Structure 1
Amino acid sequence: MSQPKEYRKGPVTLRGRKVPTSTTDQRLLDNSGPSDWVHTDPWRVMRIQSEFVEGFGALSDLGPAVSVFGSARTGPDHPVYELSVAVGEALVEAGYAVITGGGPGTMEGANLGAVRSGGTSVGLGIELPFETGLNPHVNLGINFRYFFARKTMFVKYAQGFIVLPGGYGTLDELFEAVTLVQTGKVTNFPIVLMGAEFWAPLLDWLRSTLVTAGTISEADLGLLEITDDPDEAVRIIREARQ
């Protein structure tokens, strides 16, 4: 039987040397051969889909929530850790669930504060070579393989962000959130920076460099609120939502 000149595999059209020698059904039903197919990009799409389905299913009934970000390297004896605990407590007392990355440091502190106040403490973990799973104060945890699926959950199920001092990961989440607000992808989404001394140099740089260069406007700086008071942070979020 001669090889067809054109082969259609769903929406994909293959010609010439790209025409396969077997059909998709044939490869599915043939249990011989290597198992490399489970690591191919089309199969990864199914894994990605499953992460979204699991995340949506687990969090769909969460209710009002706020995502809290901060460094995984901040120890329990650090003032910022104590601040993160107070943030978790204040959020629960105001009727919010607390969502963190589920790791140690300030994430753990916020989860601890939520649990102490009898609230829902959510941890959205990520597969990393140097972190060891969810902290013990998470009472609703999901582990992700893919950063982008995890990031979607942080935004979709939160009514705002509280950002404590942190490193690259914290800055990544912060600026992604600001971009989503600036471009109108999310609306009425307050972003509160906690730790005025830590964040002030960054805000000064944004004003003196980006605003001066015209790459952002002065109004864009207004997308970020800054405070050292957990109750004030909660008030900002509540008022923005109202």
Structure 2
Amino acid sequence: MTSEQSRTHRQGPATLRGRALPSTTTDQRLLDSRGPADWVHADPWRVLRIQAEFVEGFGLLAELPKAVSVFGSARTDPGSQEYRLGEEIGAKLHEAGYAVITGGGPGIMEAANKGCDQAGGLSVGLGIELPFEQSMNEHLDIGLEFRYFFVRKTMFVKYSQAFVVLPGGFGTLDELFEAITLVQTRKITRFPIVLVGTQFWGGLVDWVKNTMLPGGKISPEDLDLFHLTDDPDEAVRVIVEAHQEAERRLAEEEAAAKAAAREAGDGS
């Protein structure tokens, strides 16, 4: 073994020997402006970018009031029935006391933001960097654009108390089934998931009921994880009533815990 092979170099938590020994120090590489810029595309640098996105998102949204995320197609035409439905739902969510969060883009996202904004509510958009141009809509009080889908999804789940899902494409399906999976597996506290559009979603719901359930791929109670409707008032009512029921149960649990603590104190 040569002296070079036996030499050990500590680089943060890593130990390097032999062919892995660096020819320069970390400080030297940081301060040296010469050479290629490939390092900005390396995985360790990506980790810092990911961390920065989480920090920025958490910091910006930390004081957000209770909110509902509305999902749907970016391709929905303004003036269409689905667009008007999105506007109505955005307005009614504000009237029920919720901020509205969308993906920040056009179509259904714009409609929900617009309805909320014009009704005087807090309108939020969480955009995503895409290879094709998709600018943030103009009806946002808070807009934040992400590089990474999984960071953006975390923000939707963390800062939403419910999901409303209007007709959409693969991205909408992705958000829908991720939310259902998180609730089903109890990775997150259960919250309402409302599908709006029986004609659009009916075939999918029938397939879930008539194929997945009989095949043993889901449990009967999993069908209660979402609610299907055409009525925007019903969509909002489902959310409000679910939250009222959750608050009632929490109050009962807290009262029971306090009573048990008092009894334990009296018994001692």
Residue 209 of structure 1 is matched in structure 2 by 211
* Partner amino acid, structure 2, of 1:197: Q
Report the counterpart of residue 59 of structure 2 in structure 1.
57
Q: Aligned pairs, how many?
A: 242
1:23 & 1:177 partners in 2: Cα distance? Answer: 45
1:130-163 per-position Cα deviation (integer Å, ceiling 9, x unaligned):
2331011112100111111111111100001000
**Aligned residue in 1 for 2:140:** 138
Which of 81, 87, 90 in structure 1 is aligned with 2:89? 87
Q: TM-score when scaled to structure 2?
A: 0.86
- Please say if residues 188 and 241 of structure 1, whose CA atoms lie closer than 8 Å, have aligned partners that are also in contact: no
Aligned equivalent of 2:160: 158
- Which whole-Å deviations, capped at 9, do the CAs of 1:16-61 have from their partners, x for residues lacking one? 3222222322322333222211111111111111111111111111
Deviation at 1:13, TM superposition (A): 3.2
1:94, CA displacement in angstroms? 0.6
Partner of 2:258: none
CA distance in 2 between partners of 1:158 and 1:146 (Å): 19
Please give the residue correspondences for 1:1-40 in structure 2 after superposition, counting only pairs within 5 Å.
Answer: 2-3=3-4, 5=6, 6-40=8-42
Q: Which runs of 5+ in 1 are unaligned?
A: none
Structure 2 equivalent of residue 127 of structure 1: 129
Deviations 1:149-186 (A, max 9, x none): 11111110000100000000000000000010011111
Query: What is the distance in 2 between the residues matched to 1:203 and 1:210?
Result: 10
Equivalent-residue separation in structure 2 for 1:235 and 1:172 (angstroms) = 25
Partner residue in 2 for 1:169 = 171
Contact 1:103–1:131 (Cα < 8 Å) also in 2 = no
Q: CA RMSD in A?
A: 1.5
Asked if structure 2 preserves the Cα contact closer than 8 Å seen for 1:182 and 1:220, the reply is yes
- The alignment status of 1:104 with 2:106, answered yes or no, reads yes
Calculate percent identity across the aligned residue pairs.
65
Question: Does the Cα contact within 8 Å between 1:188 and 1:240 map onto a contact in 2?
Answer: no
TM-score (norm 1): 0.95
Q: Is the 8 A contact 2:106 2:137 kept in 1?
A: yes
**1:178 counterpart (162, 177, 180):** 180
Q: Which runs of 4+ in 1 moved over 4 A?
A: none
Greater helix share, 1 or 2?
Answer: 2
Alpha-carbon shift at residue 4 of structure 1 (Å): 5.2
Bigger radius of gyration: 2
1:113 maps to which of 108, 112, 115: 115
With a CA cutoff of 8 Å and minimum separation of 6, indicate the structure with the bigger relative contact order.
1
